[in-house]
DNA sequence: GGAATTTACGCAACTCGTAAGCATT
DNA sequence: AATGCTTACGAGTTGCGTAAATTCC
């Protein structure tokens, strides 16, 4: 068994069992991969991939187990490399952050600006996507961190640490009736069509909950993943925006009126997640500390040692998190 | 980075940094290992081993981290092999059990006899040692299971599942004064010199606790790790034996009187431990089930999924375990 | 001086790439 | 017919063993 063979089968799976495109992606030849895959199968005495003739059609049950472990191994191989780089070039390396549009646009810029100043030799890559894409990237090891508010809890391979709470605001044009109400009720809001985040994407659930509690049925006429897009459609008069408060810029959004809605909707919590068992570089700890000041190295290491997500949640339940 | 290189550094550490003996043990040449070790160090750009001239003297901090991860990787490589063997030869393989003398002698024989009958093609190996040796063997992957009563809690790499409770008996010769008392008190017992298990070895702690609680100071004149040895010295009149009840055989020990001491000492719990993250063969689940009937595959898998030892302990706290 | 590691060298094995053959969609 | 996997073969590399040199205790 060779590490390359494990790399090959893992990559083949990631390329939907297409060996040719896998080879292209790895800058190697297709026959080379084919051969190594079959050699591994021969050595283990099992089929990892099901075949119809010469085509790979599916992953066998045994194969799936092997691939899961192989990914674990490959991730640990990366950890070894990171360990050595931590000693050879402590302030140099990669930082891959997978996050949602809102975080990338409003929560992260200041942090990242400081981070780049502090670690000019660390190459920073931002990956945007839906919460589930983000979580998977982190769980697969394609990203060091996943930063999102929802949808990460499904991945047991991720350790998630709460970073900050945030509330929503109601956003309307200056001439909208709601603009004159300083503290609108949920019933007030229910009278108007809504413009808010895509359900299941970021945080629609908290909004739905509040309406359900009041036995109301919100009418979402437009949803998107990006606060900027939402604001644009609020400006077009499509409806009333319900948007993360941090996404409102007093300078840029002068033409809009933002009304705090923390009395209507429970706060949400943005979390940072990383792969269980992955080695964290010094600058990664530092990044977390600057993103969420309560996440000191000690705290993070303690949380990791707890292993169980529920215990981690309990650990932070007693801590007061910043509110943005 | 090659798997062999990781294997080599791990083995060199296990052989106290003696490359020659490592080579001998791996049936390969000493220069081969030396070279691969240095090639890995060159690739990573760090020293794994500290050297004084040509001799390896110690493991560097960076090296220790690398070695820890390497052991993880190697253990997962073994898991892949086990997975494939589970499909190719489901009733064939190895079972390495590390345990204490008492377990091997009194608790396991019946289980193992049945197991061998059930799985004639599984090669069974028993490793005896102190609880800490046992735990380390399991944590290192040298043994599939560690079975012991104490000393395993220190190894966070081990998942431990409680198997059964057991009590102690007072063992004396027929002519001893205590032989006539059916339910001796702790004060009765304190009048005589004791013969019991080595402290820190198996379970002396519970005995000490009971005496301390009564403000008494037990006088242990002889201690050993094996119940058979203890009985021998009881026969010599050295003192009163305090021995696991299961270690008393009504047939063999006719010349001795055994008095149940469950009212004097709290019961102890024997646990079975295995390495976190290791793949368990079907027959391993079966072994656990027969050793401790409450440890069905479902229960074990649920416990493993909990990850945290404390949560596992809580899970079993509500279950009633067998008493032996 | 003895034990242990490094260096040097040569053989065998292996990985990988190209090109041709063949099955599947 | 096109796409994609397998077989075949050759070149370059690498892993490993033996023997000699070197260093440490």
- Residue–nucleotide distance: A77 CA to C24 C1' (Å): 37
- Residue–nucleotide distance: B34 CA to C3 C1' (Å): 16
A256 & A312 share domain: no
B224 & B105 share domain: no
Q: Residue B173 maps to which CATH number? A: 3.40.190.10
Q: Which of B271, B311, B301, B304 is nearest to B164 (CA)?
A: B271
**Residue among A3, A80, A87 minimizing CB distance to B69:** A80
Domain of B99? 94-164+269-317
| Segment of A56-60, A225-229, B178-182 carrying the highest mean pLDDT | A56-60
Lowest mean pLDDT among A146-150, B69-73, B207-211, B270-274: B207-211
Whole-model pTM: value is: 0.88
B7 & B67 share domain: yes
Give the pLDDT band of residue A223 (cuts 50, 70, 90): confident
B79 & B128 share domain: no
pLDDT tens profile A225-246: 888 899 999 999 899 999 999 9
B99 & B182 share domain: no
Examine residue A24 and state whether it is found in any structural domain, yes or no: yes
pLDDT of residue B40: 94
State the nearest Cα–Cα gap between A119 and chain B, in angstroms.
Answer: 21
Domain boundary pick from A51, A83, A115: A83
Angle at A208 between CA A205 and CA A214, to 5 degrees: 145
**pLDDT > 60? residue A202:** no
Examine residue B310 and state whether it is found in any structural domain, yes or no: yes
- Residue–nucleotide distance: A20 CA to C15 C1' (Å): 18
- Rg of chain B over all Cα atoms, to the nearest angstrom: 23
Q: Residue B21 maps to which CATH number? A: 1.10.10.10
Examine residue A16 and state whether it is found in any structural domain, yes or no: yes
CB-CB neighbours of B129 under 10 Å: 18
**Beta carbon of A35 within 7 Å of strand C?**
yes
Domain boundary pick from B50, B83, B116: B83
Examine residue A322 and state whether it is found in any structural domain, yes or no: no
**Residue among B45, B77, B83 minimizing CB distance to A73:** B77
State the nearest Cα–Cα gap between A78 and chain B, in angstroms.
Answer: 10
Examine residue B89 and state whether it is found in any structural domain, yes or no: no
Examine residue A88 and state whether it is found in any structural domain, yes or no: no
Q: How many domains does chain A have?
A: 3
A36 & A178 share domain: no
Return the closest nucleotide (C1') to the Cα of A36.
Answer: C15
**Beta carbon of A4 within 7 Å of strand D?**
no
B20 & B72 share domain: yes
A110 & A153 share domain: yes
Lowest mean pLDDT among A130-144, A282-296, B73-87, B209-223: B209-223
Examine residue A225 and state whether it is found in any structural domain, yes or no: yes
- Could A83 and B77 be called an inter-chain contact, meaning their C-beta atoms sit closer than 8 Å? no
B172 & B255 share domain: yes
Examine residue A323 and state whether it is found in any structural domain, yes or no: no
**pLDDT > 80? residue A61:** yes
B175 & B238 share domain: yes
B107 & B74 share domain: no
Dihedral angle of Cα B185, B191, B193, B198, to the nearest 10 degrees: 40
B151 & B13 share domain: no
Nearest protein residue by Cα to C1' of nucleotide D17 = B29
pLDDT tens profile A270-298: 999 999 999 999 999 999 999 999 999 99
Domain boundary pick from A43, A62, A83: A83
Strand partners for B169: B243, B260
Contacts of A265 (CB under 8 A, 6+ apart): A167, A168, A206, A207, A209, A210, A242
| Chain B contact probe: residue of A1, A5, A48, A65 with most B CBs at under 10 A | A65
């Amino acid at each position: 068994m060779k590490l390359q063979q494990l790399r090959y089968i893992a990559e083949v799976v990631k390329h939907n069992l297409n060996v040719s495109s896998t080879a292209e992606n790895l800058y190697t030849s297709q026959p080379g991969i084919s051969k190594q895959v079959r050699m591994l199968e021969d050595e283990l005495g099992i089929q990892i991939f099901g075949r119809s003739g010469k085509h790979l059609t599916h992953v066998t049950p045994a194969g799936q187990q092997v691939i899961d472990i192989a990914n674990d191994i490959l991730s640990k191989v990366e950890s070894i490399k990171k360990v050595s780089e931590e000693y050879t070039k402590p302030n140099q390396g990669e930082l891959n952050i997978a996050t949602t549009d809102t975080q990338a646009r409003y929560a992260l810029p200041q942090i990242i600006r400081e981070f780049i100043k502090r670690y000019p030799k660390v190459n920073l890559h931002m990956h945007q996507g839906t919460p589930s894409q983000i979580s998977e990237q982190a769980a697969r090891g394609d990203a060091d961190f996943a930063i999102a508010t929802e949808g990460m809890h499904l991945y047991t391979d991720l350790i998630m640490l709460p970073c900050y709470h945030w509330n929503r605001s109601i956003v309307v044009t200056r001439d909208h009736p709601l603009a004159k109400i300083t503290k609108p009720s949920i019933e007030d809001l229910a009278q108007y069509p809504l413009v808010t985040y895509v359900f299941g994407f970021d945080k629609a659930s908290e909004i739905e909950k509040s309406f359900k509690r009041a036995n109301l049925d919100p009418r979402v006429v437009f949803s998107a993943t990006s606060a900027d897009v939402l604001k644009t459609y609020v400006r077009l008069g499509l409806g009333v925006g319900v948007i993360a408060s941090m996404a409102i810029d007093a300078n840029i959004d002068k033409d809009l009126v933002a009304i705090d809605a923390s009395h209507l909707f429970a706060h949400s919590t943005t979390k940072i997640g990383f792969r269980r068992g992955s080695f964290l570089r010094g600058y990664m700890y530092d990044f977390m500390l600057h993103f969420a000041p309560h996440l000191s190295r000690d705290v993070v290491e303690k949380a990791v040692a707890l292993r169980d997500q529920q215990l981690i949640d309990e650990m932070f339940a007693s801590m007061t998190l910043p509110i943005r």
